[in-house]
Amino acid sequence: MSQGQLSRTAMDPDEVVRRRLHAQRLRGPGLGAPEDAVRHLLAVQAQEFPYARWSLAQRTGSLGPAGGAPSRRGASEAAVATAPEVEEAVSDGRILRTHILRPTWHFVHREDLRWLTALSAPRLHQGNAGMYRQSGIDAAAAGRSGQVLAEAVRGGPHLTREQLAARLQDEGFAATGFGLAYLIMHAEISGILTSGSPVRSRGGALKQTYALFDERVPAGPAMPPTRAEALSELVRRYFTSRGPATVKDCADWSGLTMADVRLGLQQTLAAAPETLATSVIDGVEHYFDARAEGGSEPGNAAAAAGPRIDLIQCYDEYVMGYSATRHYLGGSAPAFPVAGDPMHVVLLDGRMAGCWRHTMFSGRCELDIRLSAAAGPAVEDAVQDAVDRYGAFLGIPAVRVGSGVKLEGHI
């Protein structure tokens, strides 16, 4: 790749953090709707659905020109999307929730899923090969189960995992445990199934259903993108929504090889060399959106606006979008909770400053927010602003409970 095609920018750690916050739309103008947030980020990790809804909502609305002063201190802040609005987008199929990339559950915009599945499927099947063998899923079993699953949902019925298991068992499959999970995942990766409209359990939680891929995903162009074109699209979308980041960051996030990412970069720069800029940090190239302003607000302007607390899920793209350069987060996440500690992440001006979780009750939400260090009045105000934003998202009162309180009913 000709580095002469790229504009170069010197960058310190604070600017890396500022640029990432803006690229991820955790600062600055938000996006118009939850599906716009998914489209911007291409794929959003979503195995913890109640928290993953919030990851999308946080990137909607507006935080004002500098993304600084929280609402309690008078900033003009447009409302973020609400939990029901995110759920509606998932229910009607604007956002699909499926296994893609590494693989794990991800939200993907319906207009991106077809080409992204075609690009990802070979490596996903290769990565799952050991579990397929262990579960007794050979080519014949995968083909026959795929036909059963397709017929089960053809024409509109959206079925839960348990309902799909019953259909498979009727056709002679054991369809339990890992075997069931990998039969369904094989069908998702193969473009047979995708997410349907969720249903509510008796306890009120939303439950995943499955629909026919071709009935939920647009047909796409008559001439599908070539593999090189798909790599270019993925790489461009990754670096413009998460940069500054490295080739290894992108490879680990996407499940592709570093050679694939470099090929995608070559294709992007050949087609639109003005798209990306670069900065060499610690001897490694970091790519980012060349059209973005330099870190948006300068450090002194952000400080004048006051501290900002963000409550993000531990699998938020601000965490999972990076591997080699996750250290800019300023802490270790995602982390397995110790002795019942919360596992989700508190950010103070973009760096890890504690952990949190929610507990839902009838008509209210309790937030256990634990900061890593003693906080002054300005930070405590910022924490309350974050609590207020979360309550507005849920549409019910949210209150902070004392640190270390044992909470029941955590979902």
- pLDDT for 243 equals 97
- pLDDT for 304 equals 60
- Minimal CA–CA distance to 277: which of 41, 19, 65, 13? 19
Q: Cα–Cα distance between 201 and 199 in angstroms, integer? A: 7
Bond preceding residue 221 cis, omega within 30 of 0: no
Transcribe 184-234 into DSSP letters.
HHHHHHTTSEEE---EE-TTS-EE-EEEEHHHHS----SSPPPHHHHHHHH
Q: Which amino acid is at 147?
A: Q
- pLDDT for 75 equals 40
Q: At residue 302, what are phi and psi to the nearest 5 degrees?
A: -65, -40
- pLDDT for 150 equals 98
Q: Where are the beta strands (DSSP E) in 228-343?
A: 276-281, 284-289, 309-312
- pLDDT for 292 equals 86
Q: Cα–Cα distance between 140 and 311 in angstroms, integer? A: 46
Question: Are residues 365 and 311 in contact, defined by beta-carbon separation less than 8 angstroms?
Answer: no
Across the chain, which has 411 residues, the per-10-residue mean pLDDT values are 57 95 95 97 96 97 48 55 97 97 96 98 96 96 98 95 97 95 98 96 87 96 95 98 98 97 96 94 95 64 77 98 97 82 95 96 95 93 96 96 51 32
- pLDDT for 409 equals 36
- pLDDT for 79 equals 80
- pLDDT for 67 equals 39
